[in-house]
Amino acid sequence: MQQRARINKCDPIPEELLEGTVTEAKDTQQVTIKDLFKPNIILPRSLNMFFQWFSVTMVYYGLLFASTSLSGDPYLNFTLVLLAELPSVPMYLYLPQIFGRRNCLIVTQIMCSICCISGGLLIEVPSLSTLQIILVIVSS
């Protein structure tokens, strides 16, 4: 703890605060998966996170695999979808620090859902195939 305080350029931690921390850690009870569902506040949050994880993963892989069946060259479409992910790494690292994790999550999921629904509706219009590919790239 003292080393972390020194690295973070904080004042040294008083010794009386550090006394007994090791024994307190040994006295705590074992944490299990059931603890995710016991408190009334944690249960809906855990279920929401499970649902979000499942739905985002399914949409991501669905878009990735469906990108090859869009009009045009399937190899080019797949490459474009993969290249569209490159800007997401810096955005993932810096935007939550600026706008907050919750706001970034809400905005990106709404934007992706609008693009996915619009791209799905454009299947019936072959003249707008370029717009459909752009919407799939944006939503991935």
**pLDDT tens, position by position, 69-84:** 777 788 888 888 888 8
Query: Which pLDDT belongs to residue 22?
Result: 54
Burial level of 132, CB count in 10 A (0-12/13-18/19+)?
A: buried
Tell me how crowded residue 104 is: count the other CB atoms within 10 A of its CB.
Answer: 17
Helix, strand or coil, per DSSP, at residue 76:
helix
The model's pTM: 0.58
- pLDDT at position 9, please? 79
- pLDDT interval class at 43 (50, 70, 90): confident
Question: Distance (Å, rounded) from C-alpha 3 to C-alpha 13?
Answer: 10
Q: How far apart are CA 101 and CA 92, in angstroms?
A: 9
- Residue 43's nearest CA partner among 57, 33, 54 is 33
Binned at pLDDT 50, 70 and 90, residue 17 comes out as confident
